[in-house]
């Protein structure tokens, strides 16, 4: 049997930690090697310390395990990236090119590289942003993702490397925490509500952004990677839509369960980033090429988030 051996780079991150567990289910627990800069004590499975800025370290792991697929999830996100633009660029680009190069000369035949709605800027139509809209990103994170998309296409065209990518909206899940993103408020707000605390939102009440529930984001990734090669017509990155809402709408939804929940609004520099991002996404290519269909909307996501976070906080209290 031809088994795939998967390397996940950035397996401690918000998406990485959940996706790694799903990949263990899909490919077999011992066929997935998780890797990050430090060990997560809760993780169960094969794990390697990996600094992806060192290509020889990636090459060593690829060779040692005869890796066939890499999911490269490590990156500095939009808001954090603006604090140190040059080092963010250097880090994001170096890690990405190291992964592509290590893959090119090895047993690796497929790579997943995440992109983001951050590739768009104010020259794109911001409602139902089309797949082929102009890319004029305003953050260094967005610039690095737009460059990454073009590199992905270049490696595919020139070296035949099967790199696949999704432009993720903000990802919301109860399993893990994000760090340094502009969409992070939509997860923080649930944690505050369940802890019976008020929440101070760093975006204005009417700032609508595209979002996706973690389970849908993970499923989309697995489905894209499983799709037959001939179906993958876009070699930069696919637009991916699920739901769109603003802070006032998510607050109203949470208030169905917590009527006394209080949110105030103190926009900071992240507001300037959000103002240039799409409000909603046209993902018709993902739907027609590989059958993408989201399952969660704001209401069903909220029910699940509150239920799971309540369990989590109760368990912490009992310990
Ligand atoms: C961020 O806010 O930077 C990320 C993203 C949309 O890529 N969540």
Cα 315 to averaged position of ligand 1 atoms, centre (Å) = 29
What ligand 1 atom has the least distance to the C-alpha of 79?
A: 3
Tens-place pLDDT, residues 189-208: 999 999 999 999 999 999 99
What ligand 1 atom has the least distance to the C-alpha of 78?
A: 3
Tens-place pLDDT, residues 58-88: 999 999 999 999 999 999 999 999 999 999 9
Cα(255)–Cα(241) distance, rounded to whole angstroms? 25
Average pLDDT, the chain: 97
Cα 77 to averaged position of ligand 1 atoms, centre (Å) = 6
CB atoms within 10 A of CB 245: 22
- The domain spans of the chain are 6-170+211-239, 173-210+242-279+296-318
**How confident is residue 316, by pLDDT bands cut at 50, 70 and 90?**
confident
Report which protein residue has its CA nearest ligand 1's atom 8. Answer: 170
**How confident is residue 318, by pLDDT bands cut at 50, 70 and 90?**
low
In this predicted structure, the answer to whether residue 188 has a pLDDT above a threshold of 70 is yes
Q: Which of 13, 16, 116, 240 to mutate to test the pocket of ligand 1 (most atoms within 8 A of CB)?
A: 116
Percentage of residues in the chain with pLDDT exceeding 70? 99
173-210+242-279+296-318 belongs to which CATH class?
Answer: alpha beta
Cα distances (Å, whole numbers) of residue 130 to 30, 148, 246, 282: 40, 19, 20, 5
Q: Is 162 helix (H, G, I), strand (E, B) or coil?
A: strand
Cα 185 to averaged position of ligand 1 atoms, centre (Å) = 11
Termini Cα distance of the chain: 44
**pLDDT for position 62:** 98
Tens-place pLDDT, residues 108-153: 999 999 999 999 999 999 999 999 999 999 999 999 999 999 999 9
What ligand 1 atom has the least distance to the C-alpha of 81?
A: 3
**pLDDT for position 317:** 73
Q: Which of 181, 207, 239, 244 to mutate to test the pocket of ligand 1 (most atoms within 8 A of CB)?
A: 181
**pLDDT for position 189:** 98
Which phi and psi (to 5°) does residue 191 adopt?
-60, -45
Name the residues annotated as catalytic: 141
Q: Which CATH number fits domain 6-170+211-239: 1.10.357.10, 3.40.50.720, 2.102.10.10, 3.40.50.300?
A: 3.40.50.720
Count of CA atoms in the C-beta half-sphere (13 A) of 192 = 20
Using a 6 Å CB cutoff, which residues line ligand 1?
77-78, 116-118, 141, 168, 170, 181-183
Q: Is 87 helix (H, G, I), strand (E, B) or coil?
A: helix
In angstroms and rounded to an integer, the radius of gyration of the C-alpha atoms of the chain is: 19
Cα(156)–Cα(222) distance, rounded to whole angstroms? 20
**pLDDT for position 82:** 98
């Amino acid at each position: 049997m031809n088994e795939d051996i998967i390397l996940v780079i950035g397996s401690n991150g918000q998406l990485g930690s959940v996706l790694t567990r799903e990949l263990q289910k899909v490919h077999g627990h011992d066929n997935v090697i998780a890797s990050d800069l430090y060990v997560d004590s809760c993780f169960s499975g094969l794990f390697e310390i990996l600094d992806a800025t060192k290509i020889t370290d990636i090459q060593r792991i690829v060779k040692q395990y005869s890796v066939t697929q890499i999911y490269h999830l490590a990156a500095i996100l939009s808001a954090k990236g603006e604090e140190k633009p040059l080092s963010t660029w250097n880090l994001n680009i170096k890690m990405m090119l190291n992964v592509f190069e290590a893959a090119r000369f090895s047993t690796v035949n497929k790579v997943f590289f995440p992109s983001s709605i951050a590739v768009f800027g104010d020259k794109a139509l911001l409602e139902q942003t089309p797949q082929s809209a102009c890319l004029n990103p305003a953050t260094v994170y967005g610039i690095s993702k737009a460059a990454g998309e073009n590199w992905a296409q270049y490696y595919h065209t020139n070296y035949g490397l099967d790199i696949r990518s999704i432009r993720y909206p903000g990802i919301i899940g109860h399993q893990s925490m994000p760090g340094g993103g502009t969409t992070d408020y939509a997860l923080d707000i649930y944690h505050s509500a369940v802890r019976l605390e008020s929440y101070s939102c760093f975006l204005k009440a009417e700032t609508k952004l595209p979002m996706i529930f973690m389970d849908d984001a993970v499923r989309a990734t697995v489905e894209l990677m499983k799709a037959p090669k001939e179906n993958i017509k876009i070699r930069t990155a696919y637009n991916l839509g699920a739901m769109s809402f603003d802070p006032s709408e998510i607050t109203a939804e949470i208030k169905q369960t917590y009527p006394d929940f209080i949110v105030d609004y103190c926009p900071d520099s992240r507001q300037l980033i959000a103002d240039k991002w799409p409000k909603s996404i046209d993902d018709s290519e993902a739907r027609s090429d590989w059958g993408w269909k989201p399952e969660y909307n704001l209401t069903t996501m909220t029910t699940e988030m509150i239920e799971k976070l309540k369990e989590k906080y109760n368990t912490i209290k009992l310990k």
